DNA sequence: TAAAAAATTTATCATTTGATAAAAAACTAC
DNA sequence: GTAGTTTTTTATCAAATGATAAATTTTTTA
């Protein structure tokens, strides 16, 4: 649990009392490659912190899969849309490697945020960073064509590259897998 | 200032003491159509709340303009990337109507957040909503072609439509203005 | 290890969008 | 109100990507 605590403390110092209360709501889980952590149409109410493995955070449209983001070790994430809009999940979370993770209910986390100002500050900073990431993703999709986006991804995520299938990468870039294969052939 | 205070109170109740301290850092400003609120390469450190008018939040790539979002009345926003990554702004904020707005420094707002837990909670909720908006934008760009995105925009923003030029809308949708004109011709 | 399954590549044709130029329409300023 | 400016439309051709099918390579499993 050390990694998760370090992650929490990185932005704002969390008291040991708060950490203990956090530990009480955290569960450890594992899932095998290809397994589903949350389903479309489920009501997702948890946050997740991966200690080993990768997942894809994705959704289905007209039979095709689109990937919002990959999450690997030491990142906190969750389907906050489902929780905050109180609706069934549009998204799926699927393990693309055997994955180990911590999970806890957002509602209980929010209760702790109300009690511990420093945790609320952490949560706010966490949302700021999540937002900056999404903004960067929007601006890149608007500005660059698929070839450029592929090159950018390989530069920014050299380590992820070997752990992700071409098809998943294509679904992340927003093009077909055949199209990505063609782009690579013409480089 | 009533509208801004209502906006603040919508998610979490803010004490009158906190509101008074907030009022002390808020300035009222106006800008005429076409005017620039923040420049690329400036160091943006403020949040903004529009009371009248619209702005475009955009950036330039290779001579072309790309629009991340429009902000109209009663929305809080700012170039948080510039502030939180402590770097010169990639983005520009340009008025597309004569615009009146409040503005205050993020750093002083953060100070108040440290002092007033409820304001921190507001800030966190604000970032959650901003993040959900950006996620929705990503998923739409991935899933839909330009024609569908245009139709979606007209459905979701019927009022904005009359206040935005075709060129700006094209820059928001991520296609050329000529392309958008063609799409409309074939409907 | 062999067979089966899955992932990737290659090829062909259709569709969408971009680039460019020019015409038409709408808006602005004097 | 008219000239000038800006915005929008139309047209043509090029480039990028999608859809589909089939071949090839890689991975999985029995």
Run means of pLDDT, 10 residues per run, chain B, 187 residues: 87 89 94 91 93 95 93 95 94 94 96 96 96 96 95 94 94 96 92
Q: Is residue A81 pLDDT above 90, yes or no?
A: yes
Q: Is the pLDDT of residue A89 over 80?
A: yes
Q: Round to whole Å and give the CA distance between B14 and A56.
A: 38
Is residue A85 a contact partner of residue B132, using CB atoms and an 8 Å limit? yes
Rounded to 10°, the helix B16-25/B106-115 angle is 160
Nucleotide C18 C1' to residue A91 CA (A):
33
d(CA B151, CA A114): 41
Q: Which helix (H) or strand (E) holds B142?
A: helix B117-143
Q: Given this model, what pLDDT does residue A86 score?
A: 94
Which residue gives the smallest C-alpha to C1' distance to D10? B182
CB-nearest partner of B68 from A85, A90, A138 = A138
Task: Give the domain ranges of chain B.
Answer: 2-143
pTM (2 decimals)? 0.94
In chain B, residues with a C-beta closer than 8 Å to the C-beta of A87 are none
Mean pLDDT of A71-88: 95
pLDDT attached to residue B52 = 93
Residue B56: predicted pLDDT: 96
Confidence of residue A62 (pLDDT cuts 50, 70, 90): confident
The arithmetic mean of pLDDT across residues A26-42, rounded, is 92
Among chain B residues, the shortest Cα distance to A134 is held by B134
CB atoms within 10 A of CB A23: 13
Angstrom distance (rounded) from CA B78 to CA B93: 9
Between CA B144 and C1' C15 the distance (Å) reads 15
Question: What is the residue-wise DSSP string for B32-57?
Answer: -TT-EEE-TTS---EEEEEEES-EEE
Beta strands A46-52 and A99-105, pairing class? antiparallel
- If you average pLDDT over every residue of chain A, what do you get? 94
What gap in Å lies between CA A107 and CA A83, rounded to an integer?
Answer: 9
Does A2-143 carry CATH code 1.20.950.20?
A: no
What tens digit of pLDDT does each residue of A131-146 get?
Answer: 999 999 999 999 999 9
First-to-final CA distance of chain B: 43
Given a cut of 90, is residue A12 above it in pLDDT? no
With an 8 Å Cβ cutoff, the interface of chain B facing chain A consists of 59, 61-62, 64, 66, 68, 80-81, 84-85, 90, 113-114, 117, 120-121, 123-124, 127-132, 134-135, 137-139, 141-143, 174
């Amino acid at each position: 649990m050390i990694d998760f605590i370090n992650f929490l403390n990185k932005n704002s110092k969390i008291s040991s009392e708060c950490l203990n209360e956090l530990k009480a709501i955290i569960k450890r889980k594992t899932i095998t490659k290809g397994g589903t952590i949350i389903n479309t149409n489920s009501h997702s109410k948890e946050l997740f912190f991966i200690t080993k493995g990768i997942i894809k955070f994705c959704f289905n449209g007209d039979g095709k899969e689109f990937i919002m983001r990959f999450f690997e070790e030491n990142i906190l994430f969750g389907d906050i849309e489902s929780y905050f809009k109180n609706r069934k999940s549009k998204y799926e979370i699927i393990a693309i490697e055997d994955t180990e993770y911590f999970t806890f209910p957002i509602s209980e986390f929010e209760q702790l945020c109300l009690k511990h100002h420093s945790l609320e500050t952490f949560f706010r900073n966490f949302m700021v960073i999540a937002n900056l990431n999404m903004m960067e993703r929007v601006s890149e999709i608007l500005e660059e064509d698929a070839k450029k986006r592929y090159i950018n991804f390989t530069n920014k995520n050299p380590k992820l590259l070997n752990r992700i299938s071409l098809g998943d990468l294509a679904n992340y870039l927003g093009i077909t897998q055949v199209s990505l294969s063609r782009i690579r052939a013409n480089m």
